[in-house]
Amino acid sequence: MYTKLSLQEKLKDERVNRHMTLLDLEKATGIGHATLSKYESDNCTDISPFNLAKLAEFYGLSMDYLMGLTENKCHPNTPLYELHLNDSMVELLKSGRINNRLLCELACHPSFVRLMTDIEVCVDRIADMHIRDMNLLLEQSRQAVISKYHPDDDDINLRTLELAQVSEDLFYSHVIHDDLDAIVKDLRKQHEKDPTTAEAETEAETIAQDMALLLAEALSYEGTADEKRGFLICQVLDIDFDKLTQEDRSAFVRVCKKSPKLKNIISQRGKSSPIPPENKKRKKR
């Protein structure tokens, strides 16, 4: 789900993201555009530390980030106390038990602040009293209707007052579930092109589709049921059934008939036996 960028890729990405040409960067840094082009090429292995420091300063990046020692572009040495991370959180992040990159993407999603707000409302029970007050008013109204009009249980007004009452657990589960679902779906879409992301279509589905196409071709093949089976097996084995000699075809069909698994693959029930191609030719004569 994540591909680590090389130094060359980082330098090129920073320039392209700023919509700068190599000549623009040469004017800004004083480094020749031919040298800059070499630094961005995949096979470059010799980069001047002086020039690299100059590029890091221009882009506002840390040298540690460019050299691959950290993934933080601008905050390599931020004190932990500024992040309000307790010891348990630091140990968890260092343990390797969770995907820290995915956690960062989750937290940086535009909708994450809404998710945290809704969780805080739930944890601090901020909305609980209002939900309970609303449910109490609705239930009092429902009891008043029952006392005055004695409707049956399926009365629409009575049922409306009952369904309008909100379960606190159900309310929070839906709100938080919807928040998190939207974020996860966005992240999944962003990673569709990643080399480590699974294909949308599984190998089994691909094989099933291919077999369905082969079976359709076999069913449309002009010949007896045994010949259709032989044609199907030849398709699977990438053999041109029509190019086989009559002797080879007959032998192949006889072998296929010995398999009990092939007997029901193609059914001719309710269909008249097609006229073999050689018989058709004789009729034309």
pLDDT in tens, 137-167: 999 999 999 999 999 988 998 888 888 888 8
Q: How far apart are CA 222 and CA 210, in angstroms?
A: 21
Which tokens hold the place of 156? 């629409």
Fold entry, domain 7-66: 434 Repressor (Amino-terminal Domain) (1.10.260)
Listed range (31-35, 101-105, 196-200) with the worst mean pLDDT: 196-200
pLDDT in tens, 70-89: 777 776 667 778 888 899 99
Q: What Å distances lie between residue 112 and 52, 103, 105, 119, 191, CA to CA?
A: 36, 11, 10, 10, 18
Percentage of the residues of the chain whose pLDDT score is greater than 90: 34
| Identity of the amino acid at 142 | R
The pTM (predicted TM-score) of the whole model is 0.49
HSE of 193, CA atoms in CB hemisphere, 13 A: 1
Q: Locate CATH 1.10.260.40 in the chain.
A: 7-66
Q: Which pLDDT value is given to residue 279?
A: 46
Q: How far apart are CA 132 and CA 166, in angstroms?
A: 8
**pLDDT band at 20; cut points 50, 70, 90:** very high
Sequence-distant (≥ 6) Cβ neighbours of residue 85 within 8 angstroms: 93
3-28: average pLDDT:
91
**pLDDT band at 117; cut points 50, 70, 90:** very high
Is residue 121 over pLDDT 90? no
Sequence-distant (≥ 6) Cβ neighbours of residue 17 within 8 angstroms: none
Burial of 57 (0-12, 13-18, 19+ CB in 10 A): exposed
Is residue 209 over pLDDT 90? no
Cβ neighbour number for residue 226 with a 10 Å cutoff: 19
State the DSSP H helix or E strand holding residue 215, giving kind and residue range, or none if neither: helix 203-220
Between these two residues, 33 and 78, which has the higher pLDDT value? 33
Q: Which pLDDT value is given to residue 261?
A: 66
Listed range (48-62, 155-169, 246-260) with the worst mean pLDDT: 246-260
Average model confidence (pLDDT) across the chain: 83
**pLDDT band at 116; cut points 50, 70, 90:** very high
